[in-house]
Amino acid sequence: MADNSLFILLCSGEREKIQMAAMMASVAAVSERPVQVFVSMNAMLAFDTKMAVEERYHGGAFAKLLNDQKAPDPILLFQQGKDLGDLKMWACSMALDIQGWEMSHLDEKLFDGPMGLTKFLSDAESGQFVTL
Partner 1 sequence: MMADQTLDAKGLNCPLPILRAKKALKDMATGQTLEIIATDPGSMADFDAFCRTTGNQMLESKQDGKLYTFLIKRTA
Q: What residues line the site for partner 1 (CB under 8 A)?
A: 23, 26-27, 30-33, 71-72, 77, 80-81, 83-85
In the complex, what is the shortest distance from the CB of residue 30 to partner 1, in angstroms, rounded to a whole number?
4
- Cβ burial of 89 (10 Å; 0-12, 13-18, 19+) is buried
SS3 state of residue 90: strand
In the complex, what is the shortest distance from the CB of residue 77 to partner 1, in angstroms, rounded to a whole number?
7
Rg (CA), the chain: 14
d(CA 6, CA 25): 8
In the complex, what is the shortest distance from the CB of residue 16 to partner 1, in angstroms, rounded to a whole number?
15
DSSP label at 58?
A: B
d(CA 63, CA 35): 24
Q: Are 77 and 25 in contact (CB under 8 A)?
A: yes
Q: Which is nearer to partner 1, 12 or 26 (CB)?
A: 26
Q: Which is nearer to partner 1, 30 or 117 (CB)?
A: 30
Q: Which is nearer to partner 1, 21 or 44 (CB)?
A: 21
Q: Which is nearer to partner 1, 55 or 83 (CB)?
A: 83
In the complex, what is the shortest distance from the CB of residue 69 to partner 1, in angstroms, rounded to a whole number?
8
